[in-house]
Amino acid sequence: MFTKTTKRVISLILCVLMFVPFMTIMSSAYVADPYSEEREAARNKFSAPVKAGEVEKKIFLGPTKTYYTEYRVYSPVKKTTDTKYPVVFLIGKNNTETQNSEDLRHDSFAFWANDEYQNRFYETKGAYIVYVRPADADVSIQFESFKLMMEEFIKDRKANIDMNRLYVVAWDKGCSLAIKATTSKESNFAALVLSSPREMINSFPSIPTWLIASKNDKAASFDLTQCWSYLKDYTGTDLDKIRFTSFDSFNSHGENNHETWEYVAYDIDKYTGEQSGAKTVNGRDQSVDATSVIEWMSKFGTDFGSDCDCPCHGATGWEAVKWFFKWMISMMLKIEKNRPCKCGVKDHW
């Protein structure tokens, strides 16, 4: 028989063993989503593109009339204005549910509608955010539906859209559609961000591109670093304008190092999940600071540099030195805006 002291010790141990898992669960529940209220508020800023007499959600059918693309919109336009804003098309996972499926529920890109994130867009301090859920179909069918959606979206808001600043941000299976859209009409898009593609990508548009992935992504059946090799070798854009952010491990929801798009959704600096070994390089494999995705992306435009004679485009010798000091002094005295010339080159030096 146990003594009274032994019984008390055993009881104490059992209490501790029962209490620790409970506290772990409670702690995990809190840490997993510290921005839940902020996220819900941001989601409420998105609306379905509804017109009088139409159903709640706009559905764009593919060529077979069976598949569809669904989308919701955040608009930066608060009142009647002639300001032209950039547009970000967020292409998420395939829509495998019915037309009544609820988007913006399982990810955090809704944050991009909040004032803090909107203010990061260069010059305009705002942008249209279009959350796209493509049909669960072949990418060619997805593309046809996406084109219909994009064309009507732009047509309805053309007075307030900067057509030279259309951006695509995609993740998971959405990366395949993003590549199809930007390579088919690359002159229409100014920059591309890809996070954790499910399928190997070996063809890229000749526009600034940022690839983000975990080296140990268990959801992909290939080495994601190979995508980076293809991007470096076959892109037609300046190697200083492409980036690769890699992680040794990344687990936001226990998803096998896959959900790196959470890093993008929080625009890097607010992300609080578990990750290690983060490293960002340019196309020359030189380390660069992983600054805000929004700020990096929004400084690119399809028309920048087309008719610009600023020395930042390749002046050499004494002319380049004079230009550099002139630019540095103007920046220190805040005489000019952050953009050194109308082409959008900022990180030349």
- For 54-89, what is each residue's pLDDT tens digit? 444 456 665 555 566 778 889 999 877 888 999 999
pLDDT confidence bin for 25, thresholds 50/70/90: very low
Q: Parallel, antiparallel, or unpaired for β 59-61 and 68-74?
A: antiparallel
How far apart CA 346 and CA 65 sit, in angstroms, is 46
Contact 217, 207 (CB under 8 A): no
CB 250 within 8 A of CB 274: yes
Q: Report pLDDT for 21.
A: 53
Provide the 10 A C-beta neighbour count for residue 244: 23
Of residues 89, 263, 82, the one with CA closest to residue 190: 89
Residue 257: the pLDDT is 86
Q: How far apart are CA 60 and CA 148, in angstroms?
A: 7
> What's the length of the chain?
349
Residue 348: the pLDDT is 34
**Got the DSSP string for 128-167?**
EEEEEE-BSS-HHHHHHHHHHHHHHHHHHHGGGEEEEEEE
User: For the residues 15-25, what does the mean pLDDT come to?
Assistant: 51
Considering only CA atoms, which of 213, 220, 224, 232 is closest in space to residue 277? Answer: 213
pLDDT for residue 52 is more than 50: no
> What residue type is 178 in one-letter code?
A
pLDDT at 342: 44
Region 129-143: mean pLDDT is 86
Which residues are 132's β-sheet partners?
Answer: 71, 91
Reply yes or no on whether the pLDDT at 338 is more than 50: no
- Per the model's pLDDT, the better-predicted residue between 149 and 69 turns out to be 149
